[in-house]
């Protein structure tokens, strides 16, 4: 259940079966957009609902299955609901009957593990009101708000909307500029975009489009050229580019063509810094030199796409890595947000694509198991730059490298 193409804030609704999660969504929307039933377990899988909340704007509400579901099928439903924690920006925990026990406490631990802000709604207050003593205890213990509410009897849920505004992280609304802090007004940014078998018919790939828009948003000039025309263009272009961004698989050609005094990086590295785990990419990429025979690498593709005979992640990177290291390496490739085929500890290294279809939170959480396990992580562009010997140049526009910080040997 990827957030990917939806950049609106995502709000996850969690709780036990029949606690009124769907009723709450209808109350927020002021219309029936979620199925309500007295039968526990009506919501079986996480369901995304796009809506507008007054005072907040467009959001995606994620209606999840009950956390107390049971049996083989119920366990699968609960696991699917828990996976949404990797994608949501804010969680709302629904309780009833003044009951907050082990299932809710375990869920709160997961909220905290994924650094997901949350608050608690005590629903069905028309049947049993929230006890003030319990509310005070939980607010003190969990350092969040507890709201008494009846999705059936209450009018407009102003207090809940206020809590949504309060606890929604700014990162859910704001995304920083791709290159705005490294270019200035009127700068020329040269974009090197190969048109080959991997290029989509009749259009540019998403990172290239995003870069063009970001350059224009920062009142600079985007000049787009294929790799074969770079040399002739540079002889005519005046003023010279303040920055050049290339597709990773023509890094060598770009490095040879772009004068050393012009900063050069790649679309993938721009994205890595924009919303990936850039700090850990910097730490992990040099581990490529330490790979040994029999090591298994995990290659993560953010999106599903047609696999060409010379695919960058499945063909080129493995080939380049094998040639660079001279080692016999094994690879697993996982697309989208699918489950891993092995335990994370089975991998010597993880290499993530640029992540143009994912949010920063999805990318960070996708890499979190590897980072927590101490497994080096890298990014397509940074890996390609490293094995081609232009790593320092490629990351220089974004970091002040200190020679002592990196040991490539």
DSSP 219-266: T-EEEEE-GGGHHHHHHH-SSPPSEEEE-GGGHHHHHHHS-TTS-EEE
- The model's pLDDT over 176-234, given as tens digits with 9 standing for 90+, comes to 789 998 999 999 999 999 886 566 677 788 889 999 999 999 999 999 999 999 999 99
- Predicted TM-score (pTM) of this structure: 0.67
pLDDT, residue 59, reads 87
Burial (0-12, 13-18, 19+ Cβ within 10 Å), 160: buried
- Identical fold for domains 188-269 and 277-405, yes or no, is yes
pLDDT at 401: 37
Query: Which class is 188-269 in CATH?
Result: alpha beta
Cβ–Cβ < 8 Å for 255, 248: no
Bridge partners, 58 (sequence order): 52
User: 385 and 391 in contact (C-beta within 8 Å)?
Assistant: yes
Question: How far is it, in rounded angstroms, from Cα 90 to Cα 30?
Answer: 20
* pLDDT at res. 155: 58
Residue 342, phi-psi category: left (phi > 0), alpha (psi -120 to 50), beta (remainder): beta
Domain range 10-172, CATH class: alpha beta
Would you give per-residue pLDDT tens digits along the chain (409 residues)? 444 434 578 899 999 988 888 888 877 766 544 433 344 444 445 678 888 877 678 888 898 888 887 777 778 888 888 888 888 899 999 999 999 999 999 999 999 988 899 999 999 999 999 999 999 999 999 999 999 999 777 656 889 989 998 998 877 766 678 999 899 999 999 999 988 656 667 778 888 999 999 999 999 999 999 999 999 999 999 999 999 999 988 999 999 999 999 999 999 899 888 888 899 999 999 999 999 999 999 999 876 544 444 588 889 999 999 999 999 999 999 988 788 999 999 999 999 988 777 778 888 888 999 999 999 999 999 999 999 999 999 999 998 533 433 443 3
Residue 3: its pLDDT value, please? Answer: 45
pLDDT of residue 42: 44
Burial class (CB in 10 A: 0-12, 13-18, 19+), 93: buried
Distance between CA atoms of residues 261 and 269, nearest Å: 19
The neighbour count for residue 274, using CB atoms within 10 Å, is: 23
CA contacts within 13 A on the Cβ side of 343: 3
CATH class of 277-405: alpha beta
Residue 82's pLDDT is 86
Per-residue pLDDT, 18: 87
Per-domain residue ranges for the chain?
A: 10-172, 188-269, 277-405
Q: Which among 67, 131, 139 has a CA at the least distance from the CA of 99?
A: 131
């Amino acid at each position: 259940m990827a957030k990917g193409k939806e950049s609106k804030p995502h709000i996850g609704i969690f709780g036990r079966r029949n606690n009124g999660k769907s009723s709450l969504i209808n109350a927020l929307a002021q219309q029936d957009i979620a199925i309500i039933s007295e039968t526990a377990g009506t919501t079986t899988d996480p369901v995304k609902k796009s809506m507008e909340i007054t005072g907040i704007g467009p959001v995606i509400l994620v209606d999840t299955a009950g956390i107390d579901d049971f049996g083989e099928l119920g366990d699968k439903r609960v696991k699917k609901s828990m996976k949404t924690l990797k994608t949501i920006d804010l969680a709302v925990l629904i309780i009833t009957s003044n009951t907050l026990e082990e299932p809710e406490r375990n869920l709160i631990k997961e909220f905290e593990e994924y650094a997901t802000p949350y608050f608690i709604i005590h629903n069905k207050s028309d049947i049993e009101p929230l006890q003030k003593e319990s509310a005070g205890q939980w607010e003190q213990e969990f350092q969040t708000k507890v709201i008494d509410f009846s999705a059936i009897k209450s009018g407009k849920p102003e207090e809940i909307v206020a809590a949504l505004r309060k606890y929604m992280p700014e990162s859910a609304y704001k995304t920083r500029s791709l290159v705005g802090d490294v270019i200035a007004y009127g700068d020329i940014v040269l974009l090197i975009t190969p048109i080959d078998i991997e290029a989509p018919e009749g259009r540019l790939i998403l990172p290239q489009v995003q870069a063009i828009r970001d350059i224009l948003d920062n009142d600079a000039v985007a000049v787009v050229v294929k790799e074969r025309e770079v040399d002739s263009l540079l002889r005519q272009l005046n003023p010279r580019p303040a920055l050049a961004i290339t597709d990773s698989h023509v890094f060598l050609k770009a490095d040879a063509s772009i004068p050393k005094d012009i900063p050069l990086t790649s679309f993938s590295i721009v994205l890595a810094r924009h919303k990936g785990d850039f700090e850990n990419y910097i730490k992990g990429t040099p581990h490529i030199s330490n790979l040994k025979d029999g090591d298994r690498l995990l290659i993560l593709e953010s999106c599903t796409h047609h696999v060409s005979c010379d695919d960058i992640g499945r063909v080129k990177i493995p080939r380049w890595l094998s040639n660079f290291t001279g080692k016999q390496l094994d690879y697993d490739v996982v697309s989208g947000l699918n489950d891993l085929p092995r335990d994370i500890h089975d991998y010597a290294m993880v290499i993530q694509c640029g992540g143009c279809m994912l949010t920063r939170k999805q990318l960070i959480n996708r890499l979190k198991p590897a980072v927590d396990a101490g497994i080096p992580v890298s990014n397509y562009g940074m890996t390609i730059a490293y094995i081609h010997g232009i790593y320092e140049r490629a990351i220089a526009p974004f970091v002040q490298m200190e020679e002592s910080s990196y040991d490539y040997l």
